Structure 1
């Protein structure tokens, strides 16, 4: 299984009463009142240090993403971070940009150009993430008409892949992108193009696109494996219906993880920061979370059927109920042995070959984050790396220039 350290880059010093005083962490939190650029300067240094540490310790990949106007994750341009990482990760971890929110770019050739630059700069280590994007980012922050979100995404996906694979110059005449000349320099180093990773929250159309284009799909959620199973069962059922194999590397899953020397110490060290995340970083009113028309009817019906359990996580965090957060799977926490055992169970249950490990959570300080990353790398990754070896699958979606990690011996109890 591939382990990717996925960094949200949150604002770590929101006021204690933030969720009582302010409407939302996204879209409307007053920037001059809450966001100190001097602190952000320090956070960015810490964030990059943490990602570089993950590369040094042997993570398969380091991951960044794109969000706007919020304190949940202020990485408006993941490509800037990825460019820095391409130069400062000498152990050649994959650079996972999950991703550029395609509907926001007009013309979308900007994404084709910048991803090609990153692929060349990193010597073929880029995984190109194509998210539809949250409604907060796309509809509220950037003003895209909700019903146009997915059509813009699909047209951009077509334009980008053609720009990477079709000799230029050529003409593209779409609904949202009209270009007399498409002729980007350079084209990607990886051929025919960097592997495309889709990221989503359960939209059926995204699963269908993954099948049609042979893209990999990562379910990015904070609700844990219990809810994740409902979603991933739907994903694999869709693959079955469309005649696609069950290669676990087609799928990924994001998980908040807290590792310490013992289960008891994990609670002592991490509870404060986990509750900060659920109470403050996910403080989003329903009217911002999803604008009417953003989700299609098919995906809306699926969401209603699967009954997203966000209220459970919020209530547990508000009460600082570590037991509920762990038992419900919102976090996986404890000693390295406890964490590894649980991750193996989750990976098998969801049938996923790519783990997006969220190891900096909420207000977690720099030194504790480094401890979490280090314990995970040294004592958890060796136990989870081989869990799919017995089935003999090939990871067709891993960047060709990224290092192939190995460990000296496979733990006997793993498979």
Structure 2
């Protein structure tokens, strides 16, 4: 089944003028945060997720640290709250930055508890973690990917071992008496996701049979990432990759009219426009592939500033973002047509993860957009596009 997931990064949007601070991440002072305002914001965010559950939409959550762009620093806590506050929606953590955690076993325990609490509605995502959270997490950037994959392997073994403790003596993690209680509800374990914008990681994700999620890659980028996944799966003998293993994150707003939809999309751009990061927190030695880092240093030497990976989207015209699949917006018919076109351009996928709220967008505005998508776009798309037996290869062509 084609799944539509709702998502907000839970921002604290009440910021001082941008020229008064160098970075919104890592060293942005929490004195700016008003806890009473924060309480009201959390109420809005959790109410929106409850509405998503009632509308038949699924829910995606993430976490970030030392930033006003995302005041959800612990995805297990938000998952636990929603496991009790929802009844039908699947809950996706995208995800747990396991390379920043010293104890993957704790992640296994947290996710197992939520899987049981939610009655088996949990999808577990693993992420490597962004470079600007290395210093707040006080972690070693060198060999992060290797730690990431070892942590994932340890978590899966912990979930699937039910006959008593085992020892783990890996290269990066050392655990005695691993014995996760409670055991996971789903058998053999919850669906596992990896979020990436790298074709290399896409291939590694396919090797393990995990689901792939990518954010704001555009149609061309998503096609490349999905192709890398499919190619690697084919090497392992999988003739056609199940569409349910592929997911894409975009900004989505549905209005009663095209203009209302476009105006909502402009509000969603807060996420792109308020992501100021100081260069020293992005270009972290040891985190970036040596060849990529060499290009960065060459650009710096020639006077080109280091910018955020989504910097090119900040000033892009809305029409371009709609055409290239970064944003889906308009009335229900328009959004349906955009989704169908994107789906065919990338060769099909099974999970549409929608950032539906950003900045100061309130409950009524966002809930109406979600309802229009759930009632007028999603059922039509499932019936007319997704459930039609179109081979992925043909769709990709």
Corresponding residue for residue 39 of structure 1: 37
Task: Select the residue among 258, 265, 268 that pairs with 2:263.
Answer: 268
Is the alpha carbon distance of 1:185 and 1:162 closer, same or farther for their aligned partners in structure 2, counting shifts above 3 Å? same
Alignment of 1:24-63 (within 5 A): 24-32=23-31, 34-59=32-57, 61-63=58-60
SS across alignment from 2:251? strand
Is the alpha carbon distance of 1:189 and 1:290 closer, same or farther for their aligned partners in structure 2, counting shifts above 3 Å? farther
Corresponding residue for residue 344 of structure 2: 348
Note the C-alpha offset of 1:269: 4.2
SS across alignment from 2:177? strand
Q: Aligned partners of 1:265, 1:285: CA distance in 2, in Å?
A: 35
Alignment of 1:219-230 (within 5 A): 219-221=214-216, 223-230=217-224
Q: Aligned partners of 1:390, 1:129: CA distance in 2, in Å?
A: 28
Q: Aligned partners of 1:108, 1:293: CA distance in 2, in Å?
A: 22
Task: Note the residue ranges of structure 2 that are not aligned, 5 or more in a row.
Answer: 299-307, 392-397
Corresponding residue for residue 215 of structure 1: 210
Q: Aligned partners of 1:302, 1:163: CA distance in 2, in Å?
A: 40
Alignment of 1:231-242 (within 5 A): 231-242=225-236
Note the C-alpha offset of 1:297: 5.0
Is the alpha carbon distance of 1:265 and 1:325 closer, same or farther for their aligned partners in structure 2, counting shifts above 3 Å? same
Q: Aligned partners of 2:60, 2:332: CA distance in 1, in Å?
A: 22
Aligned length: 377
Query: TM-score, normalized by length of structure 1?
Result: 0.84
SS across alignment from 1:74? coil
Is the alpha carbon distance of 1:267 and 1:213 closer, same or farther for their aligned partners in structure 2, counting shifts above 3 Å? closer
SS across alignment from 2:315? helix
Is the alpha carbon distance of 1:72 and 1:217 closer, same or farther for their aligned partners in structure 2, counting shifts above 3 Å? same
SS across alignment from 1:384? helix
Alignment of 1:93-112 (within 5 A): 93-112=89-108
Q: Aligned partners of 1:163, 1:285: CA distance in 2, in Å?
A: 38
Corresponding residue for residue 301 of structure 2: none
Q: Aligned partners of 1:269, 1:179: CA distance in 2, in Å?
A: 49
Note the C-alpha offset of 1:380: 1.3
Task: Select the residue among 241, 252, 256 that pairs with 2:251.
Answer: 256
Note the C-alpha offset of 1:162: 0.9
Is the alpha carbon distance of 1:264 and 1:41 closer, same or farther for their aligned partners in structure 2, counting shifts above 3 Å? same
Q: Aligned partners of 1:76, 1:176: CA distance in 2, in Å?
A: 24
SS across alignment from 2:250? strand
Note the C-alpha offset of 1:121: 0.5
Note the C-alpha offset of 1:142: 0.6
**CA distances 1:275-304 after superposition (whole Å, capped 9, x unpaired):** 422211x22244323423213358879999
Corresponding residue for residue 296 of structure 1: 289
Query: TM-score, normalized by length of structure 2?
Result: 0.87
Is the alpha carbon distance of 1:391 and 1:11 closer, same or farther for their aligned partners in structure 2, counting shifts above 3 Å? same
SS across alignment from 1:341? helix
Q: Aligned partners of 1:44, 1:155: CA distance in 2, in Å?
A: 34
2:194 is the alignment partner of 1:201: no
Alignment of 1:378-397 (within 5 A): 378-386=375-383, 387-391=385-389
Q: Once superposed, what is the RMSD of the aligned Cα atoms? A: 2.6
Note the C-alpha offset of 1:57: 0.5
Task: Note the residue ranges of structure 1 that are not aligned, 5 or more in a row.
Answer: 394-415
Note the C-alpha offset of 1:339: 0.5
Is the alpha carbon distance of 1:345 and 1:297 closer, same or farther for their aligned partners in structure 2, counting shifts above 3 Å? farther
Note the C-alpha offset of 1:14: 2.0
Higher relative contact order, chain-length normalized (CA < 8 Å, sep 6+): 1
SS across alignment from 1:44? helix
Contact 1:277–1:363, Cα closer than 8 Å, also in 2: no
Contact 1:12–1:364, Cα closer than 8 Å, also in 2: no
